[in-house]
Amino acid sequence: MNVTGLAGAVGLGLAFAMSAAVSGGMAAEAGLPAFQGAWLQSSPSCAEVYSFSGKEVSFRSPVDIFAPAFIISGNRLRTPQASCRIRSVKPAGDRQLFTLDCANMVSANEVRVLMARAPDGSLRRYFNDQDRAGTPYQRCSR
């Protein structure tokens, strides 16, 4: 293959890779609007866990590492102990399968989470496909 043919093939390969990266990012963001925000199980109260400043929300200092809470903002999911990049969100029956790249102070790994919005506006997180009840979370807002 001559230099022109090689350059064309490399350019086409890069264009395909960029297209896949963009579509993968859009796939992650397509299902996210309904999940954006700060989420908390019924106890403790939102004010005990979160700090609100304008439109920004963060974990209150000192962070309660055991708080059953997480924040989804853009393509990031944060818990009191870990920070995750949402790699993809795909339908899985009546739920959404989140594939996350998570890191904490000890390790980094891929995590898969099943979640669904409930008719009352709450969110349910499921431990696996067989979990029918799920764990309920309420959205915290100012």
Question: What is the DSSP code string of the chain?
Answer: --HHHHHHHHHHHHHHHHHHHHHHHHHHHHT-GGG-EEEE-SSS-HHHHEEEETTEEEEPSSP-TT--EEEEETTEEE-SS-EEEEEEEEEETTEEEEEEEEE-SS-EEEEEEEEEE-TTS-EEEESSTT-SS-EEEEEE--
> Domain residues of the chain, as ranges?
31-140
Return the bridge partners of 115, or none.
96, 125
pLDDT of residue 105: 92
> Alpha-carbon distance 116 to 105, whole Å?
29
Q: At 10, give phi and psi (nearest 5°).
A: -65, -45
Give the Cβ contact number of residue 71 at 10 Å: 22
Q: What is the pTM of this model?
A: 0.76
Q: Structure tokens of 17? A: 């890779």
Render each residue's pLDDT in the chain as its tens digit; 142 residues: 443 443 333 333 323 233 333 334 434 455 688 899 999 998 789 999 999 998 899 999 999 999 999 999 999 999 999 999 999 999 999 999 999 999 999 999 999 999 999 999 999 999 999 999 999 999 997 5
31-140 architecture in CATH? Beta Barrel (2.40)
Preceding omega of 33 cis (within 30 degrees of 0): no
pLDDT of residue 110: 97
> Alpha-carbon distance 136 to 2, whole Å?
61
